[in-house]
Amino acid sequence: MSNSIIREKLPKHIAIIMDGNGRWARERGEDRLFGHMRGVESVRNVVESAAELGVQYLTLYAFSTENWLRPQQEVSGLMELLVSTIRKEVPMMQKNKIRLRVIGATDLLPEKVQEELFEAVDETKSNDRLQLVLALSYSSRWEITRAARLLACDVANRTVHPDDIDESVFSKYLCTYDIPDPELMIRTSGEARLSNFLLFQLAYTELYFTPLHWPDFRKEHLYDAILHYQQRERRFGKTGEQVSSEKSG
């Protein structure tokens, strides 16, 4: 199936909402943490596949600010799983020249998680094949509110004039200030909503929803999503005729 993908039309940035770990586990009579553990296998498979294809940025919605409201036992288990996973996957990231980055309110993460996370970020900072962005303790409303606060401070300090504020200026205050907006967003498990994920950045992103739970998602499903993306016409507000004329010109 990878041979059917047009490399020249490969999305530079893919974002994924990894949904359905708990439901996958429940269907098998297991607890939710078992589903999260199996979901790690999907992460590894998809990350390596994206790197092989030539995707430049892959953002994974790993833990939202709302997820802190889940049962304490599940949250604690997730944090322990995160620490062990980061430690285990650094060699894979180094081998595949993958740079790890993180966005979100990381100060809310347990100290041990922060230590492992930022050690991995530092170790992989020179890698240039794929940038893997983990959205941890993240929500888009938190990010936009934070950006507005930072921008307001600069206006108050007179380093930014209100008349100069446009989308480009505002985007510089987002966590993704140096990352291109995703061209493709994938959500697993059959839900068709954005769940407070990259709301500003997804304005013109192609959305792809699949009924597969995340632990069942593998590289062939990533390929399928990319093929669907490549069949769509991206107009950005223009007419189809305008887009066709620009391509032919």
CATH number, domain at 114? Answer: 3.40.1180.10
Amino acid letter for position 85: T
Look at residue 146 and tell me if it is in a domain: no
Number of domains in the chain: 1
Look at residue 161 and tell me if it is in a domain: no
164 is a catalytic site residue: no
Look at residue 240 and tell me if it is in a domain: no
Look at residue 170 and tell me if it is in a domain: no
Q: Are 215 and 36 in contact (CB under 8 A)?
A: no
What are the pLDDT digits (tens) for 161-199? 999 999 999 999 999 999 999 999 999 999 999 999 999
Q: Which whole number is the average pLDDT over 221-228?
A: 97
What are the pLDDT digits (tens) for 143-152? 999 999 999 9
The band of 33, judged by pLDDT with boundaries at 50, 70 and 90, is very high
Q: Does 243 have pLDDT greater than 70?
A: no
Q: Does 205 have pLDDT greater than 50?
A: yes
User: Quick one: pLDDT at residue 37?
Assistant: 95
Look at residue 98 and tell me if it is in a domain: yes
- Domain range for 129 is 10-139+178-234
* DSSP result, the chain: -GGGS-GGG--SEEEEE---HHHHHHHTT--HHHHHHHHHHHHHHHHHHHHHHT--EEEEEEEEGGGGGS-HHHHHHHHHHHHHHHHHHHHHHHHTTEEEEEES-GGGS-HHHHHHHHHHHHHTTT--SEEEEEEEEE-HHHHHHHHHHHHHHHHHTTSS-GGG--HHHHHTTSTTTTSPPPSEEEE-TT--S-TTSSTTTTTTPEEEE-SS-GGG--HHHHHHHHHHHHTS---TTS-HHHHHHHHH-
What are the pLDDT digits (tens) for 50-73? 999 999 999 999 999 999 999 999
Rounded CA-CA distance 200/139 in Å is: 11
pTM tops 0.85: yes
What are the pLDDT digits (tens) for 86-115? 999 999 999 999 999 999 999 999 999 999
- Residue of 67, 96, 181, 224 marked catalytic: 67
Look at residue 74 and tell me if it is in a domain: yes
Q: Are 183 and 12 in contact (CB under 8 A)?
A: yes
Look at residue 183 and tell me if it is in a domain: yes
Question: Helix 219-230 to helix 32-53 angle, to the nearest 10 degrees?
Answer: 60
User: Quick one: pLDDT at residue 240?
Assistant: 53
User: Quick one: pLDDT at residue 3?
Assistant: 77
Rounded CA-CA distance 200/204 in Å is: 9
The band of 236, judged by pLDDT with boundaries at 50, 70 and 90, is low
67 is a catalytic site residue: yes
Look at residue 24 and tell me if it is in a domain: yes
Amino acid letter for position 74: E
